[in-house]
């Protein structure tokens, strides 16, 4: 087993550098034919095992390669609000 190297910041007597927290990214999957985001996984016949294929509900496209768009958390929330899947209620909340 080889020796581990002491980090430079320890040798220089500095404080440990703080790592930047990476923001989470989300993937929006879209049909390559019509651009719709209404796609779902096609399940196989054997005990629900996936075939690795996707199907578009709008144009009935079936295939393995989708368009994937990576967006930040804020962009994803805006996307869901625009789509109508998130509705914010401000006011009295009952527990």
Domains of the chain: which residue ranges? Answer: 23-83
Position 24 confidence tier, pLDDT thresholds 50, 70, 90: confident
With bands split at pLDDT 50, 70 and 90, how would you rate the model's confidence at 36?
very high
Would you say residue 45 has pLDDT above 80? no
| Average pLDDT value over all residues in the chain | 82
Residue 92: per-residue pLDDT: 56
Helix, strand, or coil (residue 79): helix
Label residue 29 exposed, middle or buried (CB < 10 Å: 0-12, 13-18, 19+). Answer: middle
Whether residue 86 has pLDDT greater than 80: no
- Residue 11 confidence class, pLDDT cut points 50, 70, 90: confident
The number of residues in the chain equals 95
Q: What is the pTM of this model?
A: 0.58
Q: What distance in Å separates the CA atoms of residue 43 and residue 52, rounded to the nearest whole number?
A: 8
Strand partners, 16: none
SS3 call for 11 = helix
């Amino acid at each position: 087993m080889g020796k581990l190297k002491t980090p430079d910041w320890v040798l220089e007597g500095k404080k440990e550098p703080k790592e930047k927290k990476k923001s989470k990214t989300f993937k929006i999957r879209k049909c390559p034919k019509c651009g719709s985001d209404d796609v779902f996984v096609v399940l196989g016949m054997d005990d629900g095992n996936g075939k690795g294929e996707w199907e578009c509900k709008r144009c009935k496209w079936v295939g393995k390669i989708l368009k994937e768009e990576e967006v930040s958390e804020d962009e994803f929330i805006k996307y869901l609000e625009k789509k109508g899947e998130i509705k914010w209620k401000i006011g009295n909340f009952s527990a």
